[in-house]
A and B are shown apart, each in its own frame.
Chain A
Amino acid sequence: MNTISIKIEFGGGLELLFENKRSYRVDIPSVVPTDNTTDAEANLADKETKDVDVDYLIHHMKDHMLKERVELFMEKNTVRPGILVLINDTDWELEGEGEYQLKNGDEVVFISTLHGG
């Protein structure tokens, strides 16, 4: 299985949900199931597949990295309102949001705006 390496960073207090560590490097498969199931053992042969995108990365983070309180990170299959995503220092809204296809070495930043004024 081919994998790509992605750098993930957290800002604005979101690191509190991820063991208070601000930077991670993760390896994820380059081809993933369309339904974003992240079970590594799952056989891709009987599933529809797609090239890995940010939606899959978010599901991967929820299933394998998130330590507590899913509801503070995800809502309706995407990140919760109030969490900003930057892909290679650019707002993900300019990159197609969750549909952006990840490449090896991409940097994805998640910033929470939910913590106080």
Chain B
Amino acid sequence: MSSCENPNTDKDVLMTRRQKFDGKTKLCVKCKENTGNIVIRYAVYCKSCFFPLVQGRFRKSLEPTINAPNGSRRKGLKASGSLVVGISGGTSSVAMLDLVAKTYFASLEDNKNEANGKLKGGKEHPRLVDKGVWKGKPTVCYVEVCGAFPGEKDRTEEVRHLVESYSYANFDFVPLRLEDSFDQKWWDTVGGGDLSTAARSLGFDMTDEELRLTTSSSDISPLTAMQTYLSSLPTPTAFHSAVQIFIRLLLLHTAASQRASHLLLGTSLTALSVNLISGIAQGAGFSVAEEAQEVWHPASDDALPIRIVRPMRDIGMKECAVWDWWCNLRVLAHSRPSQSGGKNAISALTKDFIFGLESDYPATVSTIARTCAKLTPKEGSDGICIFCRRPAQSGVQEWKARISIRSYQEASLAVSGNTRPPHLTEEEITNLTKTSLDSGSGPPVPSLTSQLCYACHTLLTSRSSRGTAASLPSGQSLNNVPLPFWIRSSIETRSFHKHAKHDFDADITHGVKLSRSEMKDQIAEFLLPEE
């Protein structure tokens, strides 16, 4: 019960919990014959109508994305590349893997009707019409995250067992580890390309808002490198978001190396709503559309553009859990929430909120997803964020410079233009500016900041008053944090291609103080002549 209205005049404002089932009829709304077994958003379904309902929603989300853009659906489903399914072993990804296997890879024998030996489904069943939707063998990828959560057990073999249980689908199983992001071997396997020695040892300075690039020691293990990266993050929120981004990028690069055209992720409707709200809360509103569906263009020329599809996005967590239960699927659960101290991360708090909301008001969760699907950014994008690889809003740093409150150490960055602190005299400002320019003697040190989207920059720089409990692995320092391989590689490419543009970027991010006459020159054409 929470409201700002007056409950004495309007009873509705109390938002008392509504019964999800009105008790009128227990008959299934679809077949109208059987007694219902499950309530889905106020509607009652029986067990035999439940399976086609969920499968129907799954296909409706996935199939319009399968054919190449402008391809006609009438000729059947034909994807331009292979299929990669990313699973975590959680409730909805286990259900998704089951749906993928049963819908597109089921053997004909398994589908024979026991009574008359005929195949279930008509002539139009996708198994017949769309035989071989994807090219090559389907791949299932799993990213083991235990390296980031001390004390958690490695579940790779359990997931392998789960994947191998679909022997008829003949899935290739590709296990990955979160620390592969920092592993040269993985980067070579996915065809990331050779890096120069300098790029191989790139790191950055986490203590400074500019996130200047440094040279890190390249001889630490990938696991230590990842742990250094994660424990140097300023907040638990950043920690959890970084893990999510690593998983996504590991899957994407692996999918590209498999010449995949589709990467399926098991985000359910409930999880999608959590991701949308928590993303917006973390400043990722610009890429809200990508959260539901996105197309990623790999850097290498011979890889296909990859569509990241979330075919479970119209299916709630409840339906996924019941699907798993009724199909006897074992969910590979972890008991993470209480261990990592991540209870106060924005993503965990949002999850608690949305699950509570779903339990009390089931329809609101789909409203979140539907409302977010209508949102489009007002301004254009000027490139791809070097970290999360989603579109970055143009002019973010200029905007951030205008709205942010900064500490005195960084005041030198903000004193140009109209953001000067009013209590400082002209002389003090000049001194501040001078020190900042002097300190960057020689060519400006390349920094990450100008190549990050707003959310990723905030993730790396926004500090919590409490800090994180995590401590750095011994011998590592915040001034020299290793970078994942895809960032090292793009920095190398970008610094080669965009050398000319660099000076311009530096002007924007460093801020250059102009004299009064220079200012006047810049706006001269807009000034009215003095009469």
Interface residues of A (CB under 8 A from B): 11-14, 16, 69, 72, 81-82, 84, 86, 89-91, 93-94, 109, 111-117
A22 to chain B, nearest CB (A): 9
Question: Interface-forming stretch among B71-79, B89-97, B256-264?
Answer: B89-97
B338 at the interface (CB under 8 A from A): yes
**Whole-angstrom CA separation of A16 from B270 in the bound complex:** 22
Interface centre among B267, B321, B325, B334 (most CB of A within 10 A): B321
**Whole-angstrom CA separation of A89 from B91 in the bound complex:** 18
Q: Decide if B39 touches A82 in the complex (CB within 8 Å).
A: no
B335 at the interface (CB under 8 A from A): yes
Q: Which residue of B lies closest to A17 (CB)?
A: B335
CB neighbours of B332 from chain A (8 A) = 13
With A81-B358, A111-B324, A117-B92 already in contact, 5 other A-B pairs whose C-beta atoms are closer than 8 Å: A72-B338, A89-B47, A90-B38, A94-B26, A117-B268
A93-B90 CB under 8 A given contacts A11-B321, A12-B324, A81-B359: no
Q: Decide if B39 touches A113 in the complex (CB within 8 Å).
A: no
Q: Decide if B91 touches A116 in the complex (CB within 8 Å).
A: yes
B30 at the interface (CB under 8 A from A): no
Q: Which residue of A lies closest to B93 (CB)?
A: A117
Interface centre among A14, A86, A115 (most CB of B within 10 A): A115
A23 to chain B, nearest CB (A): 13
B317 to chain A, nearest CB (A): 4
CB neighbours of B175 from chain A (8 A) = none
B339-366 at interface with A (beta carbon < 8 Å) = 351, 355-356, 358-360
- In the assembled complex, 26 residue pairs joining A and B whose CB atoms fall closer than 8 Å, in A order, are A11-B321, A12-B91, A12-B325, A13-B331, A13-B333, A14-B333, A16-B333, A72-B337, A72-B338, A82-B355, A82-B358, A84-B321, A86-B322, A89-B37, A90-B35, A90-B36, A90-B37, A93-B20, A94-B21, A111-B324, A111-B325, A116-B88, A116-B89, A116-B90, A117-B266, A117-B271
Interface centre among B39, B337, B359 (most CB of A within 10 A): B359
Which 3 interchain pairs have the tightest Cβ spacing? A13-B333, A116-B90, A81-B359
CB neighbours of A116 from chain B (8 A) = 88-91, 93, 333-334
CB neighbours of B320 from chain A (8 A) = 113
**Whole-angstrom CA separation of A26 from B327 in the bound complex:** 25
CB neighbours of A13 from chain B (8 A) = 331-335
A94-B324 CB under 8 A given contacts A12-B333, A114-B337: no
Q: In the complex, which of the residues B322, B338, B358 contacts A111, with contact meaning CB atoms closer than 8 Å?
A: B322
A91-B91 CB under 8 A given contacts A84-B321, A116-B333: no
Q: How many residues of B contact A (CB 8 A)?
A: 42
A74 to chain B, nearest CB (A): 13
CB neighbours of A109 from chain B (8 A) = 325
B318 at the interface (CB under 8 A from A): yes
CB neighbours of A72 from chain B (8 A) = 337-338
Interface of B is mostly: mixed
Q: Which residue of B lies closest to A91 (CB)?
A: B38
B458-484 at interface with A (beta carbon < 8 Å) = none
**Whole-angstrom CA separation of A89 from B48 in the bound complex:** 13
B44 at the interface (CB under 8 A from A): yes
Q: Decide if B333 touches A81 in the complex (CB within 8 Å).
A: no
A112-B26 CB under 8 A given contacts A81-B356, A89-B47, A117-B271: no
Contact digits for B28-40, partner A, Cβ 8 Å, 1 yes 0 no? 0000000111110
B145 to chain A, nearest CB (A): 10
Q: Decide if B270 touches A113 in the complex (CB within 8 Å).
A: yes
CB neighbours of B271 from chain A (8 A) = 117
**Whole-angstrom CA separation of A64 from B266 in the bound complex:** 36
Q: Which residue of B lies closest to A116 (CB)?
A: B90
Q: Decide if A12 touches B331 in the complex (CB within 8 Å).
A: yes
Q: Decide if A94 touches B317 in the complex (CB within 8 Å).
A: no
Interface centre among B35, B44, B333 (most CB of A within 10 A): B333
Q: Decide if A94 touches B36 in the complex (CB within 8 Å).
A: yes
Q: In the complex, which of the residues B37, B47, B267, B356 contacts A117, with contact meaning CB atoms closer than 8 Å?
A: B267
A8 to chain B, nearest CB (A): 14
Interface centre among A12, A14, A114, A117 (most CB of B within 10 A): A117
Q: Which residue of A lies closest to B358 (CB)?
A: A81
A11-B325 CB under 8 A given contacts A16-B335, A84-B318, A93-B20: yes
CB neighbours of A94 from chain B (8 A) = 21, 26, 36-39, 44
Contact digits for B231-271, partner A, Cβ 8 Å, 1 yes 0 no? 00000000000000000000000000000000001111011
**Whole-angstrom CA separation of A81 from B332 in the bound complex:** 20
CB neighbours of B331 from chain A (8 A) = 11-13, 115
CB neighbours of B322 from chain A (8 A) = 84, 86, 91, 111
Q: Which residue of A lies closest to B45 (CB)?
A: A91
Q: Decide if B324 touches A114 in the complex (CB within 8 Å).
A: no
CB neighbours of B334 from chain A (8 A) = 13, 115-116
